[in-house]
């Protein structure tokens, strides 16, 4: 029985773990390309103020009602998990759009000949990849902190928000470089950026 476990079950388990990790890496790193116009209806507005207020409120309540810790913490986890998932979903869509735009760059073209839009596309490919991994780690951290009964790391959420909003800003800038400005206007509306000073070069704080 022990021999069967060592020779068959254990290697099979390791193989499945490796395949799962490879599949996850590919999903995070190489989502299928999709035209910019196709991602717009799937995007959602990612707010932050209501999440930060909620976390502060729940943190205050937790200190006065420790016997309700499990219920409060679970509700807080679901709210914050949903918030991170919204950022991750939008980031994945941004990845798909910039990978589609990258496909249109002539591979025989010298980097010295790249236009401003092409340079931004290549920067966004890297930026979106990094943001996706950062969000994946943030989701894992939130899960671990919840299991260890630790408070939500609000500093992490604020840092993530600034990074994510910068990505949004650059995607909108990319759309604005097209001949037709309709995509830029649609993105601003869909992402709820009309009242964000960030679009006009301000600070990453809601107006």
For residue 65, is it within any domain?
A: yes
Domains in the chain, number:
2
Using CA atoms, how far apart are residues 145 and 156, in angstroms rounded to an integer? Answer: 12
Residues 82 and 148 in one domain: yes
Using CA atoms, how far apart are residues 190 and 43, in angstroms rounded to an integer? Answer: 7
Using CA atoms, how far apart are residues 96 and 195, in angstroms rounded to an integer? Answer: 26
Residues 89 and 6 in one domain: no
Token reading at 8: 């068959």
Report pTM: 0.78
pLDDT tens digits, the chain, 207 residues: what are they? 656 556 666 566 666 656 555 555 566 567 899 999 999 999 999 877 777 777 777 666 555 556 666 777 788 888 889 989 999 999 999 999 999 999 999 989 998 899 999 999 999 999 999 999 999 999 999 999 888 888 888 888 888 988 999 999 999 999 999 877 789 999 999 998 876 554 444 444 443
């Amino acid at each position: 029985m022990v021999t069967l476990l060592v020779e068959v079950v254990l290697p099979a388990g390791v193989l499945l773990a490796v395949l799962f990790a490879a599949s996850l890496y590919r999903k995070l790193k190489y989502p299928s390309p999709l035209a910019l116009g196709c991602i717009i209806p799937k995007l959602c507005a990612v707010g932050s103020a209501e999440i930060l207020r909620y976390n502060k409120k729940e943190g205050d309540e937790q200190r006065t009602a420790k016997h309700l810790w499990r219920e409060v913490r679970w509700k807080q986890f679901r709210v914050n998990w949903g918030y991170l998932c919204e950022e991750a979903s939008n980031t994945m869509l941004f990845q798909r759009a910039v990978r589609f735009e990258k496909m249109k760059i002539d591979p025989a073209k010298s980097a010295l000949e790249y236009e401003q839009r092409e340079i931004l596309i290549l920067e966004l490919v890297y930026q979106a990849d990094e943001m996706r991994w950062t969000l994946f780690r943030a989701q894992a951290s939130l899960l671990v902190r919840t299991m260890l009964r630790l408070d939500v790391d609000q500093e992490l959420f604020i840092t993530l928000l600034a990074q994510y909003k910068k990505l949004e800003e650059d995607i909108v800038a990319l759309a604005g470089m097209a001949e037709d400005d309709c995509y830029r206007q649609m993105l601003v509306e869909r992402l709820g950026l009309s009242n964000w000073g960030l679009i006009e070069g301000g600070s990453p704080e809601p107006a």
